[in-house]
Amino acid sequence: MEARRSDTTIVVQSDHFIDEKTGAVVPPIHTSTTFARDENYELIGEIRYGRYGNPTCIQAENMLAKLDGGKQARIFGSGLAACTAVFETLRSGQHILAPKVMYHGAQKWMRRIADRRGIELSFFDQADPNALRASIRENTALLWIESPVNPTWDVIDIADAAAAVHAVGGILCVDGSVSPPVTQKPLEHGADIVFHSVSKYLNGHSDVLGGVLITKELDDRWEEINVIRNLSGAVLGAFEAWLLIRGMRTLFVRFERASRNALEIARHFSSHPLIDAVLYPGLESHPRHDVAKRQQTHGFGGMMSMLIKGNAEQARKVCCALNVILIGASLGGVESLVEHRASVEGPESAVPHNLIRFSIGIEPVNELIEDIEQALKAIN
């Protein structure tokens, strides 16, 4: 009897890859854009042209589908390309519901498609546990959520969200970029599609731009998403797919270390005199810690925010005073990053102006704590 392979083993061994010709344990990079046919004019493999994918991409997709417990995965050339493929399946007169605070790039696309397609769009208060259900409409076709919500780290009950939108015939798509399938699997809680920016924890080394969708069912909507990717040519390149596979091999140990570091930092600064609040679902003081603990079963990740005692200018000063932690966009890499989110998102941002977002990496935690301590002196 074949032994069951855990999720950890699947990523460490690149889905138990062994090259049949050479015995190599690392998947190769297939850079070909065209694929030959045999003497009967039948395709030798399953791909006929690079716009429909490549063997390296398929290897990564198979790994991701297994990790999230889905039927199939499709990787795109960017996270927003993946988001757009879902939005493109909507029709005039349908309704999108999303949280007020969320990834601003996806929110901009929602506003754009609503303005041009006759699609209704509304946002609910993600900090209010009752707001989501109260905002569902009879024509809600897509409920898009994050949990935890970036960058306030409010926690949304995925199972409750799924039940609410399914009751009106809509689907639930969960952005799991900040909470990868190491710890949270939205499909198991009722979600229909999971989205990840693979640039974040999945790759983990800040050197791949990409996005992925994983589906619970192979339905008509999923077929349409496949068509959209094929026609738009939004497939991930072979080299980037290979880097993603390589990055995923250390996903579990990276996430565990980042989670441990972040929890220690959150506890250290939770009562700091220069900080109003530390926003981190792993803290027992978090208002929805119980929901987070139920959904995030193996750690709360490295994402956290601090509300400093000060204004936007002072918050930016704290960011600029950091020496170890780098100022930069994105998240989920091995290096620790900081951002003043309101400045990045612009005047429409719903993020508090005294909020500083941290992506805690895998450096020694004492160095990170000391760096934040000295940077906070910039407030005075």
Active site residues: 51, 103, 175, 200
What pLDDT does residue 19 have? 84
Q: Which domains does the chain have, with CATH numbers?
A: 7-248 (3.40.640.10), 252-379 (3.90.1150.10)
pLDDT in tens, the chain (380 residues): 566 789 999 898 888 888 888 999 989 999 999 999 999 999 998 888 989 989 999 999 999 999 999 999 999 999 999 999 999 999 999 999 999 999 999 999 999 999 999 999 999 999 999 999 999 999 999 999 999 999 999 999 999 999 999 999 999 999 999 999 999 999 999 999 999 999 999 999 999 999 999 999 999 999 999 999 999 999 999 999 999 999 999 999 999 999 999 999 999 999 999 999 999 999 999 999 999 999 999 999 999 999 999 999 999 999 999 999 999 999 999 999 999 999 998 888 889 999 999 999 999 999 999 999 999 998 87
What pLDDT does residue 378 have? 87
What pLDDT does residue 3 have? 62
What pLDDT does residue 208 have? 97
Distance from chain centroid for Cα 118: 28
Q: Rounded to an integer, what distance in angstroms lies between the CA atom of residue 239 and that of residue 83? A: 22
What pLDDT does residue 16 have? 86
Tell me the two tokens of residue 277: 């609040």
- Write down the pTM of the prediction: 0.95
What pLDDT does residue 15 have? 86
Q: Rounded to an integer, what distance in angstroms lies between the CA atom of residue 295 and that of residue 353? A: 29
- Selection from 184, 105, 178, 195 nearest residue 142 by Cα: 195
What pLDDT does residue 162 have? 98
